[in-house]
Structure 1
């Protein structure tokens, strides 16, 4: 994506809710080279920051609620979480968890768009979000999969002021001309029970190697490595606990 740091309205963080935190640490450490650091405070509930070097790039956590699915979640930066809650509901979305303080790090909200896709809002205090984008092992793209793209586009452009490129096959989200994600229309090829959702894509040096490493680590390849027109090589994978994520070939240079 064309963003290189968290900006208001843009993706700033991604975190995994998993049924087996220790297994997830092992899987993603081997796949992406992450260095997991679990918050020792009891009230943090096992929340673990994944780092590349000194940069925080993602988080892994246990499931905090009985009905919480194993899944990756995407957070978008906002200046005021409470104001954002009002914007979400006014635009037809739902608030699943109201604005909540996370120690001194910031304030977050769990919400759903009108098509059912769950996402998070993050108002930074001491923690702005990911310290690295687009480099191998870090977040580099976010994708909305929905059965009602027109309604989704109306919602997100209203709440965040995003631009949407006029593409029938793959509209892209942007902020001030900087594209950071896309939208896929879920058709009959998607099982009915799969809800609308946000899918994070992580940059890798080699997509085919990442696919092999995923299966070797007990995961599954959901979409084989492919090279779409005018885009990098990509694949969609699933970890051993069932969380889906994407990878793409990065041309990142420091």
Structure 2
């Protein structure tokens, strides 16, 4: 669950997914679709006349509630529409060199995003050894998503690959990812739960007394690709079925639905060709009781 709205700035340690954006040819159509689906408000971040657009989605039109962005394609020959996941790093240049040393490839040099005197951050576009496009982000003024895990916001990103051992052999040394006793399916960054408890979510460890040890450190999912290896973004919704119906009415295609122990999910393809998951949080009763007790 999310922290209160008067919480401090949400920060992201090394290895934690920190931001998402959608690259799409028809930015205006995507704004209309996701605005209706998620209730987002939008702010243009590039000046008039700039090549392309970068539009930040938020709850109230301010960076304090930033969620994601919708943008023009950044590279020629990119897929018609794709959601990108950004992974936080402390040093973009050093991490880019590490990508190469671990068998990945760079899609460009380290890029300073924004004015040099006050950059939004440093960006590295790369592909892992299995060819999955990914992004590293050394934060400047744009720290990352400030509203997560509540309906209408980013909930998770899943790395889909048919060789999870190979993926962890790459992302483990690069970002500190482990699966530990939780096993495949959930990727951890050691200490992330403690970071959340010390910053934006002081009750997280008490709420999670009834979940597997280490769950508070989970930062991403990893699972079988069933197709091309890729990242898939998960958006939280209040009602899976209602959100899926809204998406379909607006031109999306329903691919699958699934009920898990913790969620009700619908995988869709948006009208522009991007795959994503709509996820309703539906936890066991004991978790809800523990959360209520922790919140007092």
The answer, yes or no, to whether TM exceeds 0.5 is yes
SS at match of 2:155: strand
Higher strand share: 1
Aligned equivalent of 1:110, options 125, 129, 142: 125
CA distance in 2, matches of 1:5, 1:213: 32
Number of residue pairs matched? 245
Aligned equivalent of 1:6, options 12, 16, 21: 12
Cα shift at 1:2? 9.3
CA distance in 1, matches of 2:17, 2:74: 23
**Counterpart contact for 1:47–1:60, Cα < 8 Å:** yes
Aligned counterpart, 2:224: 185
Aligned counterpart, 1:23: 29
Aligned equivalent of 2:230, options 193, 197, 205: 197
Higher mean displacement: 102-111 or 173-182? 173-182
CA distance in 1, matches of 2:52, 2:132: 25
**Counterpart contact for 2:2–2:150, Cα < 8 Å:** no
Cα shift at 1:132? 1.3
Higher helix share: 2
CA deviations on 1:112-145 (whole Å, 9 max, x unpaired) are 1111111111111111011111111111111011
Where does structure 2 lack aligned partners over 5 or more consecutive residues? 4-9, 191-213, 283-287
Aligned equivalent of 1:93, options 104, 122, 126: 104
Aligned counterpart, 1:174: 188
SS at match of 1:222: strand
C-alpha RMSD of matched pairs (Å): 2.2
CA distance in 2, matches of 1:203, 1:44: 32
CA distance in 1, matches of 2:152, 2:11: 15
Aligned counterpart, 1:57: 67
Q: Does 1:241 align with 2:241?
A: no
CA distance in 1, matches of 2:2, 2:66: 19
Q: Does 1:46 align with 2:60?
A: no
CA distance in 1, matches of 2:51, 2:20: 17
CA deviations on 1:174-229 (whole Å, 9 max, x unpaired) are 11241122111134xx3xxxx211111011101111111110000111112x212x
Aligned counterpart, 1:210: 243
The 1:86–1:102 alpha-carbon spacing in structure 2 relative to 1, beyond 3 Å, is same
CA distance in 2, matches of 1:214, 1:65: 27
Cα shift at 1:250? 3.3
Cα shift at 1:98? 1.7
Where does structure 1 lack aligned partners over 5 or more consecutive residues? none
**Counterpart contact for 2:2–2:147, Cα < 8 Å:** no
**Counterpart contact for 1:6–1:130, Cα < 8 Å:** no
